[in-house]
């Protein structure tokens, strides 16, 4: 009975995370509901397995434990010594605690590697829904430029395209499961088209760099597939360049700005964020204080681009530095570095082809988001795209073998 109950709860946990992944782009409510249910199931599983000692086993053992808790400690100190303690503590509990619980729940969810198939399928399903919705709108809505909508709803779609394009590509190249391979292929082609037509320059760069890393990993670790990886990388680069240099004047204009740093409208945002960090270099201004202080640091005449009010500086790393100081910034860099180093090492281990494909898919999603973080803040803001990122981050971390084995 105990084993059957544990299996049922484990499946319910995976279903909840899948619901969160699929519905996150469209509403906060299913994310919050799925999160609460997932936490309750996670605690029930721990109690069922360890009884009164369950609290000792809530934190799984991974190579990321030390940097993770160093980062958590930096955030707590930043909150305690914040310029506005009440605001910072509310942001800490509403955002960071939410992210960190999702991170650990996702690690637990992929403890059984079979669950990773369901969760990868949920990611592909989410990608297909988003891409079909993005393609549907230009065909049915009489608006010239509506690649920022999905089934008529204006959504922040770039973070999801960044997450799912590399994920689908890794599954296409390595998976042997026919369902994953076919659905991943459709997802990759549609996501690639939607990504380019969306026009997000930061997303373009993040996905391009990540796909090249994915191809490199496949070529290095799978000699029999090196030719395929090389050919696909060339096809992707040519396809990408061809669409960007197509007759679309808007795409050409946005692509040209990548090579013109002096025309970047986000330079003023980055400078203002850096000035907050300079004024509070050790522990930062406090968690969540960036959005309260940011507009006080605007240059004379306001920010470029005609927008008079901003909440975020469009750079995750600068924003973390401004809110938690050099200590929090270095802790986050340490966390990301340990993850990437161990993730790349784990790719050289011999495992089932589908497991390797899914793990590389999750790693690619995290890497692409970390790169996109140079021009965005989706990792540390909100409860939708940020929630999906931390779930995928947890799954990617959870599939890394313990440090001693790699």
Instruction: Write out pLDDT tens, residues 273-289.
Output: 899 999 999 999 999 99
Region label for 284, one of left (φ > 0), alpha (ψ between -120 and 50) or beta (otherwise) = left
pLDDT value of position 60:
83
Whether the predicted model's global pTM rises above the 0.85 cut: yes
CB 91, CB 287: distance < 8 Å: yes
Report, as an integer, the average pLDDT of 316-333: 95
Measured CA to CA, the distance from residue 216 to residue 151 in angstroms comes to: 36
The answer to which of 83-87, 93-97, 214-218 has the lowest mean pLDDT is 214-218
Measured CA to CA, the distance from residue 106 to residue 120 in angstroms comes to: 12
Element (H, E) at 233: helix 226-244
Backbone angles phi, psi at 150, to 5 degrees: -140, 115
Structure token pair of residue 271: 């400078």
Measured CA to CA, the distance from residue 327 to residue 74 in angstroms comes to: 6
Q: Helix H segments across 259-384?
A: 267-279, 290-293, 316-346, 353-372
Name the DSSP class of 294.
Answer: G
Measured CA to CA, the distance from residue 37 to residue 59 in angstroms comes to: 18
Query: What pLDDT digit, counting tens, does each position of 221-267 carry?
Result: 765 555 555 566 566 666 666 655 555 555 555 555 555 554 556 77
Question: For all residues of the chain together, what is the average pLDDT?
Answer: 84
Region label for 306, one of left (φ > 0), alpha (ψ between -120 and 50) or beta (otherwise) = left
Helix (H, G, I), strand (E, B) or coil at 347: coil
Q: Indicate the burial class of 166 (C-beta count within 10 angstroms; 0-12, 13-18, 19 or more).
A: buried
């Amino acid at each position: 009975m105990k084993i059957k109950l544990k299996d049922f709860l484990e499946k319910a946990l995976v279903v909840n995370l899948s619901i969160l992944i699929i519905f996150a782009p469209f509403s906060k409510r299913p994310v919050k509901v799925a999160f609460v249910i997932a936490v309750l199931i996670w605690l029930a599983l721990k109690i069922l397995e360890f009884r009164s000692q369950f609290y000792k086993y809530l934190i799984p053992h991974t190579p990321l434990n030390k940097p993770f808790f160093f980062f958590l400690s930096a955030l707590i100190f930043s909150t305690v010594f914040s310029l506005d303690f009440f605001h910072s503590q509310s942001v800490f509990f509403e955002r960071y605690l939410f992210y960190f619980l999702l991170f650990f729940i996702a690690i637990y969810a992929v403890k059984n590697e079979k669950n990773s198939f369901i969760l990868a399928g949920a990611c592909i399903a989410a990608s297909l829904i988003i891409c079909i919705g993005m393609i549907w709108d230009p065909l049915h809505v009489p608006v010239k430029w509506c690649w920022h909508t999905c089934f008529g709803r204006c959504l922040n779609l770039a973070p999801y395209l960044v997450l799912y394009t590399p994920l689908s590509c890794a599954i296409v190249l390595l998976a042997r499961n026919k369902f994953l391979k076919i659905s991943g292929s459709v997802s990759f082609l549609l996501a690639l088209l939607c990504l380019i037509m969306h026009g997000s320059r930061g997303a373009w760069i993040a996905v391009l760099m990540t796909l090249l890393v994915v191809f490199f990993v496949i070529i290095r670790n799978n000699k029999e597939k090196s030719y395929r990886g090389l050919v696909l990388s060339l096809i992707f680069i040519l396809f990408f360049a061809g669409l960007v240099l197509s007759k679309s004047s808007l795409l050409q204009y946005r692509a040209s700005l990548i090579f013109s740093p002096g025309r970047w409208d986000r330079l003023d945002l980055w400078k203002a964020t850096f000035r907050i960090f300079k004024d509070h270099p050790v522990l930062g201004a406090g968690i969540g204080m960036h959005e309260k202080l940011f507009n006080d640091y605007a240059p004379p005449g306001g920010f470029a681009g005609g927008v008079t009010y901003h909440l975020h500086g469009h750079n995750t790393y600068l924003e973390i530095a401004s809110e938690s100081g050099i200590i929090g910034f270095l802790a986050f860099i340490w966390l990301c570095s340990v993850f990437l180093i161990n993730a790349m090492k784990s790719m050289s281990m011999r495992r089932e082809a589908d497991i390797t494909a899914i793990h590389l898919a999750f790693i690619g999603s995290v890497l692409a988001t970390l790169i996109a973080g140079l021009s965005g803040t989706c990792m540390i803001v909100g409860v939708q795209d940020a929630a999906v990122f931390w779930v995928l981050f947890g799954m990617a971390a959870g599939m890394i073998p313990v440090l001693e084995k790699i």
